[in-house]
């Protein structure tokens, strides 16, 4: 916990969502998810990029080589899980901050729908955070450089979080939740994009041991 | 059994050859590795710790060949303290060692006992609740040494552990290495001659990726015997002239002028006498001997 979540990391994540909820305007409550998904993806990819690369910059990776592979991987996964839980908590809090600072209009998709909307947001953002966290860690490990991992992920972020990305990938886009049709609350086709995130995330989890073994 | 290195070559992608057909046998006990900066010591250590793959040649440790299939077996036998290491600055000494012990796969109870034992041995017990970032350079080195010893390795590899430390800390680290060499092989790499003179009986001298010498300290000193000269020089000009022609291992102003130590096959052309060689003299003699 002290290794993966030092005070400065916690502080910048919290400041990030406070500032975001202050400056990003929303009119209706169902826009909060749209306002949060892409910025939270950036937070996740910067947050998780040093999960393992801190061992390289701290010059501890040579000692890590001597540890059993199982232990090394287990430790990295544990770090990712701790960070993702923290980020999910931040994402949930930031949903509340939007209500606090922006005071959006509620009930536009039908009465009693707010809780359902919040639960859907939580599920979607959990997948988003997981995907971008895993991807940035994977790329950073592969390139043995945190900034390279962040840069690689930003390219993917810019590509998919764009009108072109939406046009070509549609419901299969990584940011399908952001580009969903707000007018049609019964349209859940954006789930395909989240399934893509889950599938790529699983591949990233599976590829990590191989990368750590080869790149060290 | 020790470590056996045969015809080992490491060439990097930029075509720089860090180890060039090197042969060496490292027996049990504390073994010194001496060489100038860039001689290939760290590269050798990185090969021995399986961090770096060799380009050609073979290495065996306790008879086990260095090959991908054997790496896990080899890694369990090794404790390593790299030249530069920044152990988790936000953790306390105790937390840091517990975490690293857990990563090594040491059972919790045994790990606690070993941490207590080694902290005691390294006089760090009273600092165990301090954060790593609050420790001095010497203390950090000692913690680094403890982490290398936690899994009770048969082979302890330490890369320039005394660099940048004050004399007291250097002596402390040296003594610890001697203590910990009992019953195991300690490979002690340094470019500080005094450190080896104070700790090792066996050593190897490296230069440009090759071993110039490997054997006992006594034999190395014997090789330099008769090639070390002590001269008293009165004129500055003459001193400068001699400096150009011979290797100078020390010079000192005395009441009479300048006293200089030269390393040379033949006596320098000045008033001089042959004197006993130190390890430093022997190192300079070996490192600069004509092939």
Q: Do B184 and B203 belong together in one domain? A: yes
Chain A hits for B49, Cβ within 8 Å: 62, 65-66
Q: Does residue A39 carry a pLDDT above 90?
A: yes
- Residue in chain A closest to B88 (alpha carbons) equals A3
Asked if the model's pLDDT at residue A111 lies above 60, the reply is no
Does some domain include residue B291?
Answer: no
Same domain, B146 and B244: no
Q: Is residue B123 part of a domain?
A: yes
Domain end call among B165, B185, B216: B216
Name the residue among B80, B95, B99 with its Cβ closest to that of A66.
Answer: B80
Task: Inform me whether the pLDDT recorded for A64 exceeds 70.
Answer: yes
B290 in any annotated domain: no
pLDDT of residue B243: 83
Q: Report the residue from B75, B84, B148 with minimal CB separation from A65.
A: B75
Q: Could you give the CA distance from residue B182 to residue A66 in angstroms, rounded to a whole number?
A: 22
When the pLDDT of each residue in chain A is averaged and rounded to a whole number, the result is 90
Spell out which residues of chain A touch residue B100, defining contact as CB-CB under 8 Å. 63
Q: Which one of B45, B81, B86 makes the best mutation probe of the A interface by having the most chain A beta carbons within 10 Å?
A: B86
Q: From B77, which residue of chain A is nearest by alpha-carbon distance?
A: A66
pLDDT at A30: 84
Nearest CB neighbour to A60, from listed B72, B78, B85? B85
Is-contact A60 B87, C-beta < 8 A?
yes
* C-alpha to C-alpha distances, A115 to A97, A107, A123, A208, nearest whole angstrom: 16, 10, 12, 36
Q: Give the SS3 label for residue B265.
A: coil
- CA dist A131 and A112 (Å) reads 30
**DSSP-derived secondary structure letter, B92:** B
Partners of B150 on chain A (C-beta within 8 Å) are none
pLDDT at A109: 58
Q: Find the mean pLDDT for residues B20-28.
A: 92
Contacts of A57 in chain B (CB under 8 A): 86
H or E segment at B95? helix B93-104
Residues A1-29 pLDDT 10s: 788 899 999 999 999 999 999 998 888 88
Of A6, A58, A71, the CB nearest to B105: A71
Confidence band of B238 (pLDDT split at 50, 70, 90): confident
Q: Nearest residue of B to residue A6 by CA position?
A: B90
pLDDT for residue B183 is more than 90 = no
Domain ranges of chain A: 7-215
Q: B284 lies in a domain?
A: no
Whether B55 and B169 share a structural domain? yes
Closest chain B residue to A69, measured at CA? B72
Alpha-carbon span B149 to B46, nearest angstrom = 18
**CB-nearest partner of B51 from A57, A58, A216:** A216
B94 and B133 both lie in a single domain = yes
Looking at the structure, tell me whether residues B211 and B230 fall in a common domain: no
Closest Cα to residue B128, out of B103, B86, B151, B97? B97
Q: Are both B52 and B120 inside the same structural domain?
A: yes
Residue B95's closest chain A neighbor by CA? A2
pLDDT digits (tens, 9 = 90+) for B140-158: 989 999 999 999 999 999 9
The answer on pLDDT for B66 being more than 80 is yes
CATH number of the domain enclosing B56:
3.40.50.300
Are B82 and A72 in contact (CB < 8 Å)? no
Residue B242 resides in a domain: yes
Q: Do B85 and A6 touch (CB under 8 A)?
A: no
**Nearest CB to B103 within list A58, A75, A216:** A75
Do B66 and B197 share a structural domain? yes
Tallying the residues shown for chain B, one arrives at 291
The answer to whether the CB atoms of B95 and A2 lie below 8 A apart is yes
- What are B266-284's pLDDT values in tens digits? 888 777 888 888 898 999 9
Contact status, residue B139 vs residue B124, Cβ threshold 8 Å: yes
Residue A49 pLDDT > 90, yes or no? Answer: yes
- Residue B21: phi, psi to the nearest 5? 50, 55
Instruction: Give me the residue from B82, B90, B95 closest to A6, CB to CB.
Output: B90
Assess whether pLDDT exceeds 80 at residue A186: no
Mean of pLDDT values over A88-115: 83
Can you say how many angstroms the Cα of residue B56 is from the centroid of all Cα atoms in its chain? Answer: 24
- Residue A108 pLDDT greater than 70, yes or no: no
The number of C-alpha atoms within 13 Å of B268 and in the hemisphere containing its C-beta is: 28
> Looking at the structure, do residues B152 and B185 belong to the same domain, yes or no?
yes
User: Is residue B27 domain-shared with residue B86, that is, in the same domain?
Assistant: yes
> Is B280 part of a structural domain of the chain?
no
B84 with A67: Cβ contact below 8 A? no
- B-chain residues near A63 (CB < 8 A): 80, 82, 85, 100, 147-148
Q: pLDDT at residue B291 above 70?
A: no
Per-residue pLDDT at B205: 93
Q: Give residue ranges of B with CB < 8 Å to any A CB.
A: 46, 49-51, 72, 75-76, 78-80, 82, 84-88, 90-91, 95, 99-100, 102-105, 147-148
Cβ separation B88–A75 shorter than 8 A: no
Same domain, B204 and B265: no
Cβ contacts of A69 on chain B, cutoff 8 Å? 72
pLDDT value at A112 more than 70: no
State how far residue A58 is from chain B, nearest Cα, in angstroms. Answer: 5
Let me know whether B121 and B232 are in one domain. no
Contact B90 A2 (CB under 8 A): yes
Counted domains in chain B: 2
Chain B residues close to A62, C-beta within 8 Å: 46, 49, 51, 80, 82
List the domain range (segments joined by +) for residue B138: 3-216
Least confident span in A30-44, A181-195, B95-109, B133-147: A181-195
CA distances from B76 to A50, A146, A150, B223 (A): 27, 29, 34, 38
Residue-wise pLDDT tens digits, B187-227: 999 888 888 988 998 999 999 999 999 999 999 999 888 88
Q: Are A85 and A122 within 8 A, CB to CB?
A: no
**B124-141 confidence digits (pLDDT tens):** 999 999 999 999 988 998
Number of CB atoms found within 10 A of residue B143's CB: 26
Supply the pLDDT for residue B43. 93
> What mean pLDDT, rounded, does chain B reach?
90
pLDDT at A182: 75
CB pairs below 8 Å between A and B: how many?
Answer: 62
B271 and B190 both lie in a single domain: no
**Sign for the pseudo-dihedral over CA of B203, B62, B100, B45:** positive
């Amino acid at each position: 916990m002290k290794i993966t979540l030092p005070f400065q990391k916690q502080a910048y994540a919290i400041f990030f969502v406070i500032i975001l909820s202050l400056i990003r305007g929303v009119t209706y409550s169902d826009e909060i998810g749209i306002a949060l998904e892409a910025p939270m993806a950036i937070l996740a990819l910067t947050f998780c990029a040093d999960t393992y690369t801190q061992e390289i910059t701290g010059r501890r990776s040579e000692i890590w080589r001597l540890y059993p592979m199982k232990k090394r991987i287990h430790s990295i996964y544990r770090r990712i899980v701790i960070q993702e839980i923290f980020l999910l908590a931040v994402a949930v809090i930031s949903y509340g901050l939007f209500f606090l600072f922006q005071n959006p209009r509620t009930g536009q998709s039908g009465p009693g729908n707010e809780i359902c909307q919040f639960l859907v947001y939580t599920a979607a953002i959990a997948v988003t955070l997981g995907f971008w966290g895993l991807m940035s860690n994977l790329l950073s490990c592969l390139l043995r450089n945190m900034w390279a991992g962040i840069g690689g992920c930003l390219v993917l972020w810019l590509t998919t979080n764009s009108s072109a990305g939406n046009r070509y990938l549609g419901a299969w886009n990584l940011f399908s939740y952001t580009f969903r049709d707000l007018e049609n609350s019964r349209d859940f086709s954006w789930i395909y994009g989240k399934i893509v995130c889950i599938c790529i995330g699983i591949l990233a989890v599976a590829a990590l041991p191989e990368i750590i073994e080869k790149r060290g | 059994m020790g470590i056996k290195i045969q015809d080992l070559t490491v060439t990097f992608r930029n075509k720089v050859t860090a180890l060039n057909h090197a042969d060496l046998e490292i027996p049990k006990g504390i073994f010194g590795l001496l060489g100038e900066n860039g001689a290939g010591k760290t590269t050798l250590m990185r090969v021995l710790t399986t961090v770096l793959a060799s380009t050609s040649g073979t290495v065996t440790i306790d008879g086990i060949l260095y090959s991908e299939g054997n790496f896990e077996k080899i890694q369990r036998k090794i404790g390593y303290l790299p030249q530069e290491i920044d152990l988790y600055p936000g953790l306390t000494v105790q937390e840091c060692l517990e975490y690293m012990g857990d990563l090594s796969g040491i059972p919790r109870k045994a790990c606690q006992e070993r941490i207590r034992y080694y902290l005691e041995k390294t006089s760090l017990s009273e600092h165990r609740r301090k954060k790593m970032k609050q420790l001095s350079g010497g203390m950090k080195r000692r913690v680094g040494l403890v982490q290398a010893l936690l899994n009770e390795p048969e082979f302890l590899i330490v890369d320039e552990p005394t660099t940048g430390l004050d004399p007291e800390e250097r002596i402390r680290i040296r003594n610890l290495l001697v203590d910990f060499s009992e019953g195991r092989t300690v490979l002690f790499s340094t470019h500080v001659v005094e450190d080896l003179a104070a700790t090792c009986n066996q050593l190897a001298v490296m230069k440009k990726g090759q071993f110039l010498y490997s054997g006992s300290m006594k034999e190395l000193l014997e090789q330099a015997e008769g090639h070390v000269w002590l001269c008293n020089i009165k004129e500055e000009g003459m001193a400068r002239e001699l400096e150009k022609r011979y290797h100078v291992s020390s010079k000192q102003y005395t009441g009479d002028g300048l006293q200089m130590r030269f390393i040379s096959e033949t006596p320098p052309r000045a008033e001089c006498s042959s004197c006993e060689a130190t390890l430093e003299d022997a190192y300079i003699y070996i490192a600069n001997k004509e092939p």
